[in-house]
Amino acid sequence: MNILQELSQYYIQNSSYVWAQFFRHFLMSAYGVVFAAIIGIPLGILIARYHRLSKLVLSITNIIQTIPALAMLAILMLAMGLGANTVVASLFLYSLLPIIKNTYTGIRGIEKPMLESGFAMGMTKFQLMWMVELPLAMSVILAGLRTALVISIGVATIGAFIGGGGLGSIIIRGTNVTDGAAIILAGAIPTAIMAVAADLVMGWLERLLSPDRRAKSRKQSAPMKRDENLA
């Protein structure tokens, strides 16, 4: 029996288990990114406002990013124990750098004349942030979320070593049996598909919310004025 036949047979016999681990894997990745976004986006805005804090915050998140995934899981496991919560915590930490850095870059990259125009219109700082800065920086922020989600999907695979479950548990099962290549592929293929799908969807949202795209859409949807010179 060749590997493709073994792979299809495994999927047929274990379809419910594979789907359960697929969704568990995605939820762990998504939760880690969502929690990081809740902390990272406001923090990115804060360090964009107070530029002196940026070096400290970005240095700390850079150090976190350099810690190997297994070492991070082992450290967190000592404090939190085994299970999915530890995996989500590690994904949260790994997601902070791209989210904070892209939020900071997006806010700092807004041209000053746009901000000055907002102040001239009488906007408060909160209104300026909500109505001008965030919309203009949204595509850059989404690029950070996109990077964080793809990273999380990959790191979540290793979480199976500490009882987190997910598609990594299928891969580990394949490594523990003789001729387990098909089982390894049964976990690796859905992981790759998930990462590619997440990248494509987030990339589409990033393009959709880019300032140039939205400006073009508003221009196309604006009602045409009647030419008064026409008889």
Instruction: Write the pLDDT tens digit of every residue in 197-210.
Output: 999 999 998 888 87
- pLDDT at residue 180 in the model: 79
Q: How far apart are CA 187 and CA 25, in angstroms?
A: 11
Q: How far apart are CA 184 and CA 188, in angstroms?
A: 6
CATH number of the domain bearing residue 136: 1.10.3720.10
Domain, as residue range, for 94: 3-112+121-217
pTM of the model: 0.85
Total Cβ atoms within 10 A of residue 87: 35
**For range 25-33, the mean pLDDT:** 95
Q: Is residue 231 part of a domain?
A: no
32's CB contacts (< 8 A; 6+ apart) are: 87, 88, 89, 90, 91, 92, 94, 95, 152, 156
Q: Is residue 91 part of a domain?
A: yes
Q: How far apart are CA 195 and CA 193, in angstroms?
A: 5
In total, how many domains does the chain have? 1
Q: Is residue 223 part of a domain?
A: no
DSSP state of 160: G
- pLDDT at residue 97 in the model: 94
Percent of the chain with pLDDT over 70: 90
Q: Is residue 172 part of a domain?
A: yes
Q: Is residue 30 part of a domain?
A: yes
Instruction: Write the pLDDT tens digit of every residue in 140-192.
Output: 999 999 999 999 999 999 999 898 889 999 999 888 887 778 899 999 999 99
- pLDDT at residue 231 in the model: 40
